[in-house]
Amino acid sequence: MSLLNGITVLDFSQFLAGPSCALRLADLGARVIKIERPNVGDSSRHLVLKKQKIGENSLLFHTINRNKESIALNLKDPADKEITLELIKNADVLIENNRPGVMKKLGLDYDTVKQLNPKLIYGTVTGYGIADSLKTKPGQDLLAQSLSGLTFLNGNADQPPTPFALSIADSFAGIHLAEGILSCLIRRNKTAIGGQVEVSLLESAISLQFEVLTSYFNDGQKLPERSKINNAHAYLAAPYGIYKTKNGYLSIAMGSLEILGKLIALPQLAKYEKEDLAFTLRDEIKQQIADIIVTKTTEAWMELLLSGGYWAAPVYDWQELIKQEGFKALSFDLQLKTPAGPIHTTGCPIQVNGKREKDDKPAPLLDQDHAKILNDLGVKKND
């Protein structure tokens, strides 16, 4: 896409939150330059999941850093520091997710660099914000999920707190940072003034819970109880949940118990429509539904429920997902070509005017674009 054509982003971040924000800006047309440590680079180059590597770098690194450029600079070296400052003078956006205080020690904190470039949008991701008690704790996704209360919501009532099996705090911190940066860019176009955008993993994980936390705040701060059977939402009544079928699983959303009872031949469900019985007796109700849902296939139940206009869906694993016409129609995945081999990954989820432009540029090798970046930005390296 070319929405951000002409915008230059300096990505000082590593791992997931900051780089995922920079990735989305790149997808929208910005030029994103990774500022990396010589010989080491972004730490996620070496964070290998399930022994998956592409050349010298982890597959994870390629997933988050496609469509970017790389330059290696030692920020403690005077010559490289001078190059860094020149790059900042010419940039529109800077993104960093270092430990609190690191950028200040390097002389690259917002209050310092805005003197060089008052129009700069400076994006910062921390683990937990400004609280002194949390400042020194590792800013890691599972820890942020745990501290935020997010894991408390998941699983059935007799199960321990269950984390999301993906880096949800990191990912949403990246999304929130991109939202803030884009908002500041709009303001800058009107006022020629830059600004600093700050997000944290903890705040993003808490923000995701706005619906349930608001219920908690306005319910005398009484903790919700998870359903013992097929828990899917601590504040929603039966039948809301995922049910085992004869050959798989089926999700059933909210709806009239009386109508559901007619569709699945369980007429006694009608008696639970009164007052709040669907919530207070949800485990009893869900057990009755579960006992009958398991007797037929997912496909059979889907036909019955959809014929009655009831909200339901089959539960897919990834093998089933990618076979679906709906997935294929999205044209959402990418095939990247690298010197070390091909990579199959996901693309940008945003469409503009009905189109999703695909940029199949792979992640850069460490320092791959050093000479090009200095030449394009008119920066000369001192010998």
CA 101/CA 90 separation, integer angstroms: 24
Has 92 been annotated as catalytic?
Answer: no
Instruction: Say what the alpha-carbon torsion angle 45, 48, 54, 56 is, to the nearest 10 degrees.
Output: 50
The two three-digit tokens of residue 380, written as one number: 């000369």
CA 358/CA 374 separation, integer angstroms: 27
Determine the distance from the C-alpha atom of residue 263 to the mean position of all C-alpha atoms in its chain, rounded to a whole number: 38
CA 318/CA 329 separation, integer angstroms: 16
Q: Do the beta carbons of residue 286 and residue 254 sit within 8 Å? A: no
**DSSP conformation class of 371:** H
Strands (E), 133-248: 195-200, 241-244
Nearest CA among 122, 115, 67, 66 for reference residue 95: 122
Q: Do the beta carbons of residue 42 and residue 73 sit within 8 Å? A: no
Q: Do the beta carbons of residue 368 and residue 355 sit within 8 Å? A: no
User: What does the angle CA 127 – CA 128 – CA 129 come to, to the nearest 5 degrees?
Assistant: 110
Q: Which of 92, 141, 170, 367 is the catalytic position?
A: 170
Task: Tell me which residues are annotated as active site.
Answer: 170
